[in-house]
Amino acid sequence: MNRRIKILTLGLSFLLFSAFLTRDNDLYFEINKGIDIFGRVYKEVALNYVDQVNPQDFMISGIEGMLSSLDPYTNFIDAYEQKDIDIVTKGKYGGIGATVGLRENEITIVDLIEGYSAQRQGLRIGDVIEKIDSVEVNKDNYDRLSEFLKGDPGTSVKLLVKRAQVDDKLKFELVREEVEIKNITFYGFIPHEGNTAYVKLSSFTRSAGDELKNAIIELRKQKEIKNFILDLRGNPGGLLDAAIDVSEKFLEKGELVVSVMGRDSLSKKNYFAAEEPLINNIPVIVLIDGGTASASEIVSGALQDHDRALIIGENSFGKGLVQTVIPLSHNTSLKITTARYFTPSGRSIQKIDYSKSKVLEVGASINKANFLTDNKRVVFSAGGVTPDSVVVFRTDSPLMDQLLAQGMFFKYATNFYNSNPGNNFDKIKDDVLLKQFVTFLEQKGFDYSSKSDKLITQLIENSKEEPLDEKLVELLKKQKGNSSANINKEIEKYKIEFIGELRSELKARTNGRIGRLSESLKTDRQFLTAVSILNNNLHKQLLQNK
């Protein structure tokens, strides 16, 4: 009898094993068949197409076409882009210490890193780069700037620069250095006389956790930390290990930080806090927005689920996917999505289901069960991390939106600083600053129409095809305001926001990114809301189950 049972068991095991073996054989057969067909097509076209085909470009087009059917985070990384991957994983690169961007189709310096050659040798925010070595740069080759500017430390690069208010072009010869990416842009006590520590974390390279630890140690040397604000707004994320390391600074040892699950549900892996927290038993607030993504969402989701922090701001980006970089031949790599991650409560905050090309609404989930924090507060899946307290950062001013979109604050600060390099901008009164800004807009020919003016203009235009009473048309024309009046009226209405933006940009010209950030906090709605909650002892109350 026992022998018969053993035979049946062995038979069943063989059948199950055979099923897996057959399935794997089918998969590998399909893969090999696909490789054969792809290779034949590539070879035949490269050799026999009527026009000459560049084999490398054709191959990359084929790879990118194949990957385009997946999510946007699965990418082929060629030799040029490999350096950008190294920056994320190693946290350093060979360069001049400047950040560039497109402003009116010109390659413009938008930020300088303190202490590196670009800043030391006199480049300024707002300078326009026209040539790098012998290459003229513009919007057409903007995507290759990294290739032109970055290189081995010790090598030199020549720049031809156009500067506002300076007639002649400026020539710079800069030596590339090993630039270390700082994950923490700024930290300090704000307000300075208080005990609320503020840390702006901008990325998650390998050193993020150590930088946060050192910042906390330095702050404690100054005075006691009674409250803590972690700013993750605009942080696009980075390494999973770095997110876990940062989370450990706040969570109790042994608490779950994040779970990662690949294609096979049996491959689920849990990551727990492995050290005692540095910030313990004091209120913590995390600021997030639509630019808070990936590793930033892991941190904010973990702190929210364990009720360790109050989340303030706007819904985060909603990237609940994990990528792995697989090295390939010829200094290329494949960055591929290999898993999904889940917060401690079990929720996925992924916003888009790429397999169905569907945007998931907040609260949507395959798992219909409620997601609860440690204090039994309801939290939501999909659509990013939902703040505990929603505070919109954006102004209600259409004029402000237009000026920001056209870079007018940036241009004004660049122009004003280059015209008055020795000025103490802090001593300029608000009204004087606003008046000078309006004059600058008039000189630039900036035209602004209010919402009502746009409607009136549309009615007047329509009257040419659909005749209106002439008296009504004349009345509409009289009601329509002029651009300068509209600008002055709206600036007066949103005076605090305009002053804040102007002073932040001017501060950036004299104190770099630290100056811009510290100045902007003075009128930052989300930050000021966080400070108000802490000052009024509402933090604990808001984290309790209602």
The catalytic position among 117, 202, 247, 294 is 294
Answer whether the bond into residue 283 is a cis peptide, omega within 30°.
no
3-state secondary structure 134-160: CEECCHHHHHHHHHHHCCCCCCEEEEE
Residue the block writes with tokens 């630290």? 514
Q: Where are the alpha helices (DSSP H) in 121-276?
A: 145-149, 208-222, 240-247
Residue 418 and residue 164 in contact, taking contact as beta carbons nearer than 8 Å? yes
Residues in the chain: 546
- The active-site residue out of 319, 351, 411, 507 is 319
Report which of 200, 208, 276 is spatially closest to residue 241, judged by C-alpha positions: 208
**Looking at this protein, which amino acid is placed at residue 29?**
F
Pick the catalytic residue from 127, 231, 245, 305: 305
- CA-nearest of 425, 442, 427 to 491 is 442
The Cα 246–Cα 273 span in angstroms is 10
**Bridge partners, 80 (sequence order):** none
- Which of 202, 387, 373 lies closest to 302 in space, CA to CA? 373
Is 305 a residue of the active site? yes
Q: Tell me, yes or no, if 168 is annotated catalytic.
A: no
Q: What is the rounded end-to-end Cα distance, in angstroms, of the chain?
A: 62
For the question of residue 471 being annotated catalytic, the response is no
Show the beta-strand stretches assigned E in 72-207.
75-77, 92-95, 98-103, 106-112, 128-132, 135-136, 156-162, 170-175, 177-180, 184-189, 196-201
Active-site residue list: 294, 305, 319
